[in-house]
Amino acid sequence: MITGPGNAYVAEAKRQLFGRVGIDLPAGPTEILIIADETADPALVATDLLGQAEHGPDSPAWLITSSERFGREVLNEIERQLLTLPTADVAGAAWRRWGEVAVVEDDDAAIALSDEYAPEHLELQTRHDDYYLSRLGNYGSLFVGEESTVAYGDKGVGTNHTLPTGRAARYTGGLWVGKFLKTVTYQRLTQEASQRIAPIIGRMCHTEGMLAHEITADVRAQRYAQRARASGD
């Protein structure tokens, strides 16, 4: 298996080799979404949005808030910080193309919208962080409270950093030990069980027009019926 994070070249290498070997997931541009309300610090929220935007000009950075005033404060902070940010050429390009501020009615609306975006990295900076924690379902990794930030997860606190992007968090999580386990199955039936299930499977196959499939069931039903009669069962 080929696993782990990387840039566009790593993603392309995984794409080309998938099938010859396994991969963890095809990761796209990194993403951040922050849910924040008026109790948060707009400067800190702006800092975290730009912190992820510097990954590249194709890196989305989104804010969901229930306060229009707060959203405008964050917008102003982003423009102010871009004046002195060392990587403003990259982060600014990403923000201008992919940056979004969404104003929603309440906490539940914020949860619904965030789950629709299914971001790779999701930060919470609200007065009701535990409410969000218990209800959010679609994200790669969640950073609860202003004391936590994406860079911590990227570099050192120990949580997984190979995460789903491009809304893939709707159906999968990040890399974990289960990705390295190959699951196989087998079936073993008694003659009695095979004889009982054969007519059911045969009818299903016939309905689907899979007539050769139907025959594989029918011959077993006939064979085991004959054996049962011969043995007197």
Show which residues are catalytic. 120-121
Residue labelled with tokens 């004959």: 226
CA–CA separation, 189 and 197 (whole Å): 10
CA–CA separation, 30 and 23 (whole Å): 18
* 151, two tokens: 């860079």
Distances (CA, A) of 54 to 47, 50, 100, 201: 11, 6, 15, 57
Based on its alpha-carbon atoms, the radius of gyration of the chain, rounded to whole angstroms, reads 27
Residue labelled with tokens 């989104």: 62
Distances (CA, A) of 23 to 12, 119, 136, 164, 168: 12, 21, 27, 13, 15
* 8, two tokens: 């566009």
Q: How many CB atoms lie within 10 A of CB 54?
A: 21
CA–CA separation, 140 and 167 (whole Å): 9
Cβ(65)–Cβ(46) under 8 Å? no
Write the single-letter amino acid at 129: D
